[in-house]
Structure 1
Amino acid sequence: MAPTATRQEALDDAPDALQLLQRDHERVRLLFGELDSLRGIEDEDERRAELVDDICYELTVHSMLEEEIFYPALREVLDDDDMLDEAELDHAGTRELITQLEVMYPGDEHFEATVAVLAEEVEHHVDKEESEMFEAARASGLDLVLLGQRLAARRAELDDISAPPDAIDATEPHEGRRTPPRAPD
């Protein structure tokens, strides 16, 4: 896609829904892999915190896309509420872990364990989704290209909303994603 492509051209070139969701899965796997590669390395807490923030952001956006667009579309064509209910429960568990991680920092008690549990739960969910749910979606007759365009458009909206400001005013309170660790008492 050329740098001067319009938003509509970007949507026209969008992958189908399953390809888009698989790209999200791969992006999160890569982030978890990079985070894992830093385990035990001194002086990498800031980078580890950034990676956890990126993972939490990606998972939040991905879950929103699935819950707002993908799962409802599947519910309309599939007769398997149990599979979709289980996926939504997986998302609820992921949101709970993300909420815990948003106030933690590397070195905090349970940080590593919480990240490990999140990674395991996400991998289990992704494996199940990419096998059972994606197979059901392929067999359903759903227009996966149109659904992919809807997902891509919504992702663009969400990315626009969460984009950082162009300039930061140092006199304003910081609105960052993570609070820095407190000094020891």
Structure 2
Amino acid sequence: MATSKTTKSRRAAARKSGAPQDAVALLKADHKEVEGWFDDYEDLTSNAEKSALAGKICAALKVHTQIEEEIFYPAARQATTDDDLIDEAVVEHAGAKDLIAQIEGMKAGDDLYDAKVKVLGEQIKHHVKEEEEELFPEAHRANMDLVELGARMAARKSELKAQLGV
């Protein structure tokens, strides 16, 4: 389904005006940003650059998974009928968190470092596809208050980023 120019303009205006972003839009923006960073990582050759970008990716994913697990998933579980989607997402998060911990315990240039970052990217890409194609449409159909959720998630995201110093 194509997005109209008017819809895109409204979203852009909402972001610029500081108007609350709905939860799905916030999560999709995070997805797009992190996927771009994984693509950028593939082009890097310097261990220092790889380390910096991998650290940025890991921090962003830690914040993202936490706001989903604390706020979005419980609301979606309450409003939708497909608990399996949310259960799978939580399990996928656990796998990602394990890889993040491994990456954070390594140095760029170590054996398997690049492979672990690549596999994390592949897992995230799969996770994003399922959320965006299955869970988010389900959230829209359930008439969840996505603007209120988005405001709560944005506030929590800011808190977590401040705690992590990112």
* Smaller-chain TM-score bracket: 0.7 to 0.9
Cα distance 1:133–1:87, how it changes in 2: closer, same or farther (>3 A)?
same
Cα distance 1:147–1:12, how it changes in 2: closer, same or farther (>3 A)?
farther
Equivalent position amino acid for 1:22 in 2:
K
> Residue in 1 aligned with 2:162?
160
What TM-score do you get using the length of structure 1 for normalisation? 0.78
2-structure distance, mates of 1:155, 1:117: 25
Unaligned runs of 5+ in 1: 1-9, 165-185
Unaligned runs of 5+ in 2: 1-15
> Residue in 2 aligned with 1:66?
68
Equivalent position amino acid for 2:31 in 1:
H
The ranges of structure 1 where at least 4 consecutive aligned residues each deviate by more than 4 angstroms after the TM superposition are none
3-state SS of paired residue (1:141): coil
> Residue in 1 aligned with 2:120?
118
Higher mean displacement: 25-34 or 155-164: 155-164
> Residue in 1 aligned with 2:146?
144
What is the aligned counterpart of 1:107 among 106, 109, 123? 109
What is the aligned counterpart of 1:79 among 78, 81, 88? 81
2-structure distance, mates of 1:52, 1:161: 18
Give the percent of matched residue pairs that are identical in Structure 1 and Structure 2. 42
> Deviations for 1:92-145, whole angstroms, at most 9, x for unmatched residues?
000000010011112111111111110110000000101100000010010111
Greater fraction helix: 2
3-state SS of paired residue (1:79): coil
Work out the number of aligned pairs and report it: 151
1-structure distance, mates of 2:66, 2:17: 19
C-alpha RMSD over aligned residues = 1.5
Any residues of structure 2 matched to 1:82-93 within 5 Å, and which? 82-93=84-95
